[in-house]
Structures are given as structure tokens and as C-alpha cells.
Structure 1
Amino acid sequence: MRVLAVGGAGYVGSHVVRRLLEEGHDVVALDNLSTGHAEAVEAAKRAAGARAKVGQAADAHAAVGHAELVVGDAGDRALVCDLLTSRDIDAVMHFAAASLVGESMRDPSKYWRNNVGCAIGLLDAMVDAGVDMLVFSSSAAVYGEPVETPIREDHPKEPRSTYGMTKLAIEHMLAGYRHAHGVRSISLRYFNAAGAGDLGTMGEAHNPETHLIPIVLHTALKLQEEIQVFGTDYPTPDGTCMRDYIHVDDLADAHLLAMGELARGADTTAYNLGNGSGFSVLEVLAAAERVVGRGIPARHAERR
């Protein structure tokens, strides 16, 4: 298949690009590089090529897809429509979004314009070009505070942040575009993405970095003095916040599975993506200390 990966130069997007290439799909990565990196797409291409060389030892037909990076905005309807038609795109994967929860509360306008506004332009371009399959990177932030665990897809949706609200709004939009224009979509509600590609050439590169695991490892490497543990009064065994983590390669595989389901005629739906187990901040810290073989400085702070 030929896939438009919107936000394909970002953390999750670039890992999905790699998996698409490994499976022989051709990819156009559209990214404005505001938070993504052109090098991430190049790394995805190199990693896919290295994997293909290994596969050729057992499979003479092993082949890797072609990828190109186009710098531009997801909400540029004319640009997206041109890419969809000129590259004969079969399906779209939409990763691009402003995604800092705290910032979304301080600057909600940015999130409504960037996330929802761009999604409107993207969907309208898909309608213009006659492309009717979309895999959407949603978020478990659509649920807000859980009233029961494990969280099922039919759990009440009461997002507590503007970021979560924008993701839920886009899911509602997708239902509308299915009804009005026949665009079928699968929304994947991530919990906390973590990890890096197993070839060691790809990983997280956020600025600022807000994810716990890279912050812990930055501290272990003495790139910062200490980590702050925000809150020790949560209703958890050790009092620190507990999160469900899922490896980014597992997320990537889920995107390919979702695209395959749409290609087989699946209708609009949503799935949670997590591992079903929670790990507290202190548990993550202890695991990192075991890996690096030494203590990692940490300081308790008030909840954010």
C-alpha cells in the first residue's frame, strides 16, 4: 500500500514509518518539523534497510518500501490533496499533534487550532482526493480520571486537559466524516509510549523532554542533576503516580494491524493501546537504577 504518514518525523510516527517500510509499503512522511526531525525519517529508512538485508538471508523476495519526507502542515488542504492524488495514496496515518498536557492548559488556543484545525484540513483533503482510510493517533487522555480499571473502550470519556479534549473532539469528527463522506477510521488510544527501536538508531528526541523514562536516563547520564517526583500522595502502594507503558515498537505494529483491518473493510472504531499493567514513578526509577548499576538522584515535589 501507499501511505501518507502525517507527523511521520516524530517519535511514534518515525517508528511506524520504519515498520511500514519493512513490510514493503511506500510512505510519504508529511511533517512541519516543529517537533519532528528529518533525521528520524532517514533513521527509519536505514533501519528498515538493515532489517531487509537480514531478511534476505532467509527470503530472496525480502524488499523494503520507498519513503520520502515532505515538509509542510497537516492542515494545508491543498498540499495534502496534492500529495494524496500525485502519490496515489491508499491510506493515511495521522500522528501530528501538539501533545504537552500542561501547555495545553496554559495555551488552549494553540491546541484547538493545531490539533482540531489541522485535522479538519486533513479530512477535507481526504474527501477531496477520495481517500477513505485513516488510522488516527488518539490518546488515553480522552478518558480523564478512571472510574474503574482496567479502562475499557466504553469507559466514560471526561478528559481533564485541553489536549485530551482535542483528541476526543477529533474522534467525534471522525464519526461525522464517516456518516457524511464514508471516511473509515480506527482511533488508537495510546497510554504512555516508551522505548526505542531495537537497532539502537531511533528513539525519543523531545525538546523539552517531558516523558519520565528519558528524564530518568538523562539524570543517570548526568545530563541533569536530578529528577523531580511530582506527588507522593497518590492512592498507590508507594504514593507516586502510576502509568501504563507500551513499547513504541508495539504501537507501530498496532498501526499496521489497524491499517490492515481497514483494508479488509473494517468500519470506524477505537482501540486502547497499553500493556494492562501500571508502574509507579518510583518503580520506573528503581528499574533504571538496576539497569545502570547505580543510584539516580531524585527529589520529591508537589503534584503538578
Structure 2
Amino acid sequence: MTWLITGGAGYIGAHVARAMTGAGERVIALDDLSAGVPSRLPADVPLVRGSSLDGALLERVLAEHAVTGVVHLAARKQVAESVAQPTRYYRENVGGLTTLLDAVAEAGIERFLFSSSAAVYGDPDVDLITEDTPCAPVNPYGETKLAGEWLVRAAGQAHGIATACLRFFNVAGAAAPELADTGVFNVVPMVFDRLTRDEAPRIFGDDYPTPDGTCVRDYIHVADLADAHLAAARRLSAPGASGDLTVNIGRGEGVSVRELITLIGEATGDTRPPLVEARRPGDAPRAVASAARAAEELGWTARRTVREMVDSAWRGWQLHHGG
């Protein structure tokens, strides 16, 4: 097997590349480097600079490297940006996937793994979100991920491609400091950023119907997420693999924003109390995955704790930001 990982030099992509090469898989990375960092990739992974919107490039890469499976991670992923620039998100996320699937079908590739998101669910009022929970995304980013799932399944059925869609929840941590997330878009680096600037963390609303009044989320270590991609790739590579699979990737346990900030304070030594501000529109009180199907279908369960996520993320932040 030879796997093409789109977005392979990104925060998640580099972890997936490391997990797959560590397990003996041959990997090629494609990345436009808008957010990717080439040095994140293992030394033996070739990097092709380019976009999944470039059909000619995709055809050439698939042929030259004799690719037999694709892991598609490349996408724009910021919710607020998607609200402000919906056409860009549809063009890059759905358009790029369309171009890639055309090239995959033309090349006769029979395995396709799509990295989706819990954003496809929107804000369901349930204790645990299962794969059968109705999908009702509330922003263009989530819409593009749901449309992507539809497209992947349809193309799989039309062209005999075995497909899997992984709906992952809130990603944090790093397998090594140099692989850490360098952006300030997710909650853990956002808190680090405020502490580094000598500002208190912020909590948006403490009057939700949860044990401590703050929102509850399911956090997944990026190294566990990478292992889930490896497990799904192995599932698609099994003899006689066919059809499509959709699974949640989470720990199945909720952590409140206040609990998370407490853990961050312990990791950083900065335990100043957070500022409580007004609720943000669209924040659901609780969003926690049911991880049962992933265990059943992939033989995978998350192994790393939230404390490990925070501690590893802080080491990465210190390396990249001098915190």
C-alpha cells in the first residue's frame, strides 16, 4: 500500500503521517503549505506542494507514486471564517474533494479515508452523540463536512471505492513538541495565548445546564486521532474491504471548560481565575461522543488523558512561542 495524505504537513496530517510510517505504511504528503510546516513530516515522507483543487497535479502524483489509498485531511476548518467566507469554504472543501475524488476514480484507487468532523451534528440535545444522531450543522464549515461525507459515499458506491468517514471531536495535544499546533484557534492554545500575554483565561458563559455551568466537550489527543486514522486505513486495506464506514472519534467523556482551564493552570503554573463573559451564540451546553462504534468497527479506543493533552500541548507552545 502507498497512501497519499492531503494536508500531510498540517498539525493533524503530520501526526497521521508519523503514525502510518511508524506502522510500516508508505506515505506521500500533499500540502499547499498555507498552514502546513514541512519540517513536521518524517524525513522519509516525500512532500508535494500543491492543492487538492489542482486536478492535473493530483493525476500526476497518484500515477508517479503508484498511490493505492488516500487519506483526505486538507480543508479549511475555522468556524468563524466559514461564516464570513462561505463561498471560499465550499470552493476549497467541497470543490477540492470533488476534484480529488475524480482523480481517485480515474486512477482506479479503491480506498478513501475522509477526515470529517463532529461539526456535522450541529448542536444536538443529547447526552452522548452517536453516529445515528441526526446531522444538522449550524455553520458553513460543518455543512461542507457533511456534504463531503455525502460525496465520498456516493463516489464510493459509483466507483467501487471502500470509504470511511471519521467524525472527530475537539483535538488537542502533540506527540512531540515540534508537532504541536502553531495556530491560536482552538481552546487550549487560546488559553495559552492569553496567559503568555499576561491575561486571564476567558469563559464564555457559566450558566449552562451542566455540573459547573460551563460548556462540556469531548477532547481527543491528536496522537489518538492519528492512531484512529491508521486503524481505519488498515480496515480499508483488509482483503475484501468494501462499502462505507462512518465513526465518531472521541474519548466518550466530557470535560467542562472550567475543568480544562484548571488543568491548564496546573500545567503552566498560572492559576489565575478565569474571566466569565457572556455566552457566545451557537455554543451547545454539551457535545460528547459515543465512542462505541469506533471500538467495535476499528478495534480502537482513545488511550491518552486530557492531562496528557494539556501537558504535551504546553511543551509544544513553549517550543514555538517561547512561553
Matched-pair identity in %: 42
- Could you tell me which residue of structure 2 aligns to residue 200 of structure 1? 177
Deviations 1:49-106 (A, max 9, x none): xxxxxxxxxxxxxxxxx31111100121111111111100111000011101111112
Q: Structure 1 length as normaliser, TM-score?
A: 0.87
For residue 233 of structure 2, what is the amino acid of its counterpart? M
Query: Which of residues 84, 91, 107 in structure 1 aligns to 2:62?
Result: 84
Name the SS of the counterpart of 1:172 in structure 2.
helix
- What does residue 57 of structure 1 align with? none
Deviations 1:119-175 (A, max 9, x none): 000000101111121111100111111232211111111111111110000111112
Q: Does 1:122 align with 2:96?
A: no
Task: Determine the structure 2 residue equivalent to 1:150.
Answer: 128
Deviation of residue 296 (structure 1)? 3.8
Q: Provide the C-alpha distance between the structure 2 equivalents of 1:253 and 1:266, rounded to a whole number of angstroms.
A: 21
1:99 match: secondary structure: coil
8 Å CA contact 1:75, 1:118 repeated in 2: yes
Partner of 1:51: none
Alignment of 1:138-217 (within 5 A): 138-197=116-175, 199-206=176-183, 209-217=184-192
User: What does residue range 1-304 of structure 1 map to in structure 2 within 5 Å?
Assistant: 1-41=1-41, 44-45=42-43, 66-197=44-175, 199-206=176-183, 209-220=184-195, 222-223=196-197, 225-264=199-238, 265-296=241-272, 298-304=274-280
Q: 2:133 and 2:116 mapped to 1: Cα distance?
A: 15
Q: d(CA) in 2 for partners of 1:169 and 1:211? A: 23
Q: Would you say the 8 A contact 1:137–1:188 is kept in 2? A: yes
Whether the 8 Å CA contact 2:169–2:220 is kept in 1: the answer is yes
Find the aligned partners of 1:112 and 1:87 in 2 and give their Cα distance.
29
Length-normalised TM-score, structure 2: 0.83
The CA distance in 1 between the partners of 2:263 and 2:202, in whole Å, is 16
Distance 1:115 1:77 in 2: 14
Q: CA deviation at 1:115?
A: 0.3
Q: How far apart in 2 are the matches of 1:84 and 1:113?
A: 22
Runs of 4+, deviation exceeding 6 Å: none
Q: Please give the secondary structure, in 1, of the residue aligned with 2:18.
A: helix
Letter in 1 for 2:9: A
Contact 1:4–1:28 under 8 Å retained in 2: yes
- Indicate conservation of the 8 Å contact 2:218/2:251, yes or no: yes
Residue range with higher mean Cα deviation, 126-135 or 223-232? 223-232
**AA in 2 matched with 1:25:** E
Rounded to whole Å, the distance in 2 between the matches of 1:172 and 1:224 is 45
Q: Is the 8 A contact 2:161 2:242 kept in 1?
A: no
Contact preservation (8 Å) 1:285, 1:296: no
**8 Å contact 1:216–1:296 — kept in the other structure?**
no
Q: 2:93–2:144: 8 Å Cα contact kept in structure 1? A: yes
Q: Is the 8 A contact 1:6 1:30 kept in 2?
A: yes
Alpha-carbon distance in 1 for matches of 2:177, 2:268: 17
How many residue pairs match? The answer is 278
The 3 A distance-change label for structure 1 pair 224 and 185 is: farther
CA deviations over 1:200-230 (Å, ceiling 9, x no partner): 3321111xx111112223334x245233222
Rounded to whole Å, the distance in 2 between the matches of 1:112 and 1:296 is 41
**Residues 20, 256 of structure 1: 8 Å contact kept:** yes
Contact 2:4 2:30 in 1 (8 A): yes
| Structure 1 vs Structure 2 CA RMSD | 1.4
Instruction: Specify the SS of the correspondent of 1:201.
Output: helix
**Which residue identity is paired with 2:278?**
E
Does the CA contact (< 8 Å) of 2:201 and 2:261 recur in 1?
no
- The 8 Å contact of residues 9 and 38 in structure 2, kept in 1 or not, is answered as yes
